[in-house]
């Protein structure tokens, strides 16, 4: 392990301390877990994400006859996905 020092905004520090207390682990453990989750567990940058991975909310809502133009929304999302 490497020992390091970092500066955190007060709000982030308090949030991490609270999480450490709730989980009954050390503050450093929260920092290590958070960094691992952020840096190691993200999808590979070369792998193209599926629509469901990029937009996990797709399919969660049902529309009705008085809703906005759903086809236009689908086209917008597809355009965003293909960028």
The full set of domain ranges for the chain reads 10-39, 51-81
Query: Shortest CA distance to 28 belongs to which of 38, 13, 43?
Result: 13
Contact 81, 51 (CB under 8 A): yes
Residues 6+ apart with CB under 8 A from 53: 43
Taking a C-beta distance cutoff of 8 angstroms, is the pair 19, 30 a contact? yes
Tell if the pTM clears 0.85, that is, is over it: no
Nearest to 20 by CA among 28, 12, 8: 28
Return the pLDDT at 77. Answer: 72
Q: What is the pLDDT of residue 27?
A: 93
Q: What is the pLDDT along the chain (83 residues), one digit of tens a residue?
A: 788 899 988 999 999 999 999 999 999 999 999 988 888 866 555 667 777 777 776 666 666 666 665 666 667 777 766 66
- Structure confidence at residue 18 (pLDDT): 94
Quote the longest CA-to-CA distance of the chain. 60
Rounded to 5°, the CA angle 13-40-4 comes to 45
pLDDT at position 1, please?
79
């Amino acid at each position: 392990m490497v020992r390091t020092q970092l500066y955190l905004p007060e709000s982030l520090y308090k949030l991490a301390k609270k999480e450490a207390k709730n989980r009954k682990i050390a503050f450093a453990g929260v920092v290590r877990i958070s960094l691992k989750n952020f840096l190691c567990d993200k999808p590979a940058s070369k792998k193209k994400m599926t629509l469901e991975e990029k937009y996990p909310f797709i399919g969660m809502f049902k529309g009705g006859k008085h809703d906005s133009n759903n086809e236009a929304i689908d086209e917008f999302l597809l355009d965003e996905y293909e960028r």
